[in-house]
Amino acid sequence: MSTDLLSFDCRFQYGQGFTLESAFALPPGISVLFGPSGSGKSTCLSLIAGLLRPDAGAIRLCDTTLVDRGSGLWVPPHRRRLGMVFQDHLLFPHQTIRRNLGYGMASRDDNGTRLAQVVEMLDLGGLLDRYPGQLSGGEQRRVALGRAMLSEPQLLLMDEPLTGLDEAMRDRILHHLHQAHERLGVPMLLVSHDQVVVRRMAGHVVVLEEGRVVDQGPAHETLDRATTRTMASHPGPINLLRVEEVRRSGDHHEGVIAGQRFHLAGPIAPDSTTVYVRCLPRDVALLIGEVSRISMRNHLVGTIRDLIHIPGDHRALVAVDVGQLIWVEVTDSACRELGLAIGVRVTCLIKALATDVVG
């Protein structure tokens, strides 16, 4: 208990509506709240930051109790020393970017160098004397991030801090956040939907669904399980394959997917040379070794990149990289018999008729 960075165990209800009822503990380091839209992630952050008061339960940060409805203890938000990046930024519209950034900064221990570092890291150089209304969406998000970081929090809460940023910027900031974490040891709790971000950043992941913690643990395992869960409850992924160099060949069309021949069925606009083809995972079969004579016309060879057993369903979803990623649904027994595993080379067999040319 005492080694946890944060222990959270709260119930909170919006009026008569959504109820959050979750308990989790975060180890020191970087953690991620993960879960579908509307699952209560922002609500969690608000509770931790003290912007909402739980109906029951308690939140502890290190050795400090932030709120405990049992004993009536309550630390007001401004004494919690938590930096928060809001989903919608909430920059102060009447202050310049410089003043926004400096708002939470304890002025005593700073002679501009920390501000300069953050400005450099977030590439905000030319914007300091503008007002938030004069920034682009991504610029606003970066300012919000910088403002929270400069407040020297004991814990940095970030609600989707990197969405709306281009990949280069995202990578750069991720890198810097990592550095900041290593150098200054600032623990972070972030909300993100982006698996790249999560897998790269997080040590610990908490998965929320409909206000409840459905899973938590080390990042990779937890995310793999999460993907599985989503797929179990969801119609599942739909393959969308890009077929290039399409040309007529006798009574049908054919093209190329990542260097491999692909047969198309159905009408195709005469001047298209690139089309998209949609097929369902269950319409794809897998084969190991040489292709035998078979009625399935399309054979795409690739490597298994991912393999997800769907619990209680005796199914598995296999991601095969044939140059493009193809999801294949197989039974658990087929999976065992064929010895499917990540890295195994397989051939995907797709019936041309089962595909659907998109355009």
Partner 1 sequence: MTGWWLTPPEWQAIRLSLLVAFWAVVIFLPPATVLGWWLARRDFWGKTAVDTVLNLPLVLPPVVTGYLLLVMLGRQGVIGRPLDQWLGVEIVFTWRAAALASGVIAFPLMVRAIRVAMLGLDTRLEQAALTLGAHPVRVFFTITLPLARHGLIAGGVLGFARSIGEFGATIMIAGSIPGETRTMPLYIFGIMESPNGIARAQGMVIVSILIAAGALIVGQVIENRSHRQAGGPKR
Question: Is residue 26 a contact residue for partner 1 (CB under 8 A)?
Answer: no
Three-state secondary-structure class, residue 179? helix
Cβ 85 to Mg ion shortest distance, Å: 11
Of 3, 37, 71, 111, which lies in the binding site for its own copies, with binding defined by CB under 8 A? 37
Task: Give the HSE-up count for residue 202: Cα atoms under 13 Å, Cβ half-sphere.
Answer: 29
Report the distance separating Cα 281 and Cα 319, nearest Å: 10
Query: Could you count the other beta carbons within 10 Å of the beta carbon of residue 84?
Result: 25
Binding residue (CB under 8 A) for partner 1 from 70, 92, 217, 278: 92
Choice between 36 and 203, CB closer to Mg ion: 36
> How many angstroms separate the Cα of 139 from the Cα of each of 25, 161, 164?
33, 11, 9
Rounded Cα–Cα distance for residues 66 and 57 (Å) = 11
Task: Annotate each residue in 63-102 with x if it binds its own copies (CB under 8 A) or - if it does not, as one string.
Answer: ------------------------xx--------------
Say whether residue 342 binds its own copies (CB under 8 A).
Answer: yes
Q: Please, are residues 352 and 265 in contact by the beta-carbon 8 Å criterion?
A: yes
Which residue is it, tokens 């669904």? 209
Amino acid at 241: L
- Considering only residues 27, 28, 138, 236, which one is a binding residue for ligand ATP as defined by CB under 6 A? 138
CB of 142 to ligand ATP, least distance (A): 8
| 60-79 burial code (b ≥16 CB/10 A, e <16) | bbeeeebbbbeeeeebebee
Count of residues that interact with partner 1, criterion CB under 8 A: 36
Question: Considering only residues 134, 179, 195, 331, which one is a binding residue for ligand ATP as defined by CB under 6 A?
Answer: 134
From residue 265 to residue 304, the character string flagging contacts with its own copies as x (rule: CB under 8 A) and all else as - is ---------x----------------------------x-
Single-letter amino acid, residue 278: R
Query: Among the candidate windows 4-12, 30-38, 148-156, 343-351, which touches ligand ATP by CB under 6 A?
Result: 30-38
Nearer to ligand ATP, 15 or 250 (CB): 15
Which residue shows structure tokens 């991504």? 138
Among 64, 134, 136, 331, binds Mg ion (CB under 5 A): 136
**Would you call 302 exposed, middle or buried from its count of C-beta atoms within 10 A (0-12, 13-18, 19+)?**
buried
Candidate ranges 41-49, 179-187, 242-250, 273-281; the one touching ligand ATP (CB under 6 A): 41-49
Would you give the DSSP letter of residue 18? Answer: -
Among 122, 135, 189, 350, which residue interacts with partner 1 (rule: CB under 8 A)? 135
- CA distance to 95, 140, 164, per residue, from 131 (Å): 6, 10, 19
How many Å apart are CA 310 and CA 203, to the nearest integer? 24
**Pair of tokens at residue 187:** 């623990």
Catalog residues that contact its own copies under the rule CB under 8 A. 14, 17, 29, 35-38, 41-43, 87-88, 130, 134-139, 142, 159-160, 163-172, 175, 178, 182, 193, 195, 199-200, 203, 218, 220, 230, 234-235, 237-238, 240, 242, 258-259, 274, 303, 305, 321, 323, 342-343, 358-359
Catalog residues that contact ligand ATP under the rule CB under 6 A. 14-15, 17-18, 35, 37-43, 87, 133-139
